[in-house]
Amino acid sequence: MKLQAKSRVIDEEQEDNKYMKAAIAQAKKAYKLGEVPIGCVIVYEGRIIGRGYNRRNTDKTPLAHAEITAIKKAVKVMKDWRLEECKLYVTLEPCQMCAGAIVQARIPEVIMAAENPKAGCAGSVMDILNNPDFNHQVTVKKGILKEECSKLLKDFFVELRARNKALKEQKGNL
């Protein structure tokens, strides 16, 4: 019995890593656009039914978050606004808008990589996903491929600061 339980844990860990890597691939698409590299996938019965990455600057809208895009795609596949049997994988802890959308979509489980101490709403700043006053709560698993996702975000912001500094210096020399 112990061997079977250990095997389930290993299988679940491998599955989480597999889908988080798919979310990281989405985040890298955002990175290439010069967007904050956040990626998301939604999984139903072992297959990805929704993908998204941050496109706020590209699309000129505050609604173009990875989770929102993935939810929109997943509900089209499911032909229902309820995603009750799905898992959402995201590279950074959801903000208040995305956490609210996750609750509204009735997604039962969120697997996230890095925490967001400035805007995270899965426990960092507040916990929208597990607010007992709402009619739906979400199981949250944290830290899956955290180092890889954190490094991607850190590298992006180092490059962004360097780019902004160079632009500022260039304007000063005109």
Domains and CATH numbers, the chain: 1-173 (3.40.140.10)
Residues flagged as binding site for Zn(2+): 65, 95, 98
The average pLDDT across 90-106 equals 98
Quote the pLDDT of residue 5: 60
- The one catalytic residue among 13, 15, 35, 67: 67
Quote the pLDDT of residue 45: 96
Express each pLDDT in 16-75 by its tens digit. Answer: 999 999 999 999 999 999 999 999 999 999 999 999 999 999 999 999 999 999 999 999
Quote the pLDDT of residue 27: 98
Task: Say whether 47 sits in a helix, a strand or coil.
Answer: strand
**CA 13, 15, 18, 24 torsion: positive or negative?**
negative
Catalytic residue list contains 85: no
Where residue 4 falls among pLDDT bands split at 50, 70, 90?
Answer: low
Residues flagged as binding site: 65, 95, 98
Do residues 152 and 160 lie in contact, with contact meaning Cβ atoms separated by under 8 Å? no
The average pLDDT across 96-100 equals 98
The average pLDDT across 134-163 equals 94
Q: Pairing mode, if any, of strands 39-44 and 86-92?
A: antiparallel
Residue 52 CB neighbours (<10 A): 27
Q: Is the pLDDT of residue 100 over 60?
A: yes
Question: What is the pTM (predicted TM-score) of this model?
Answer: 0.91
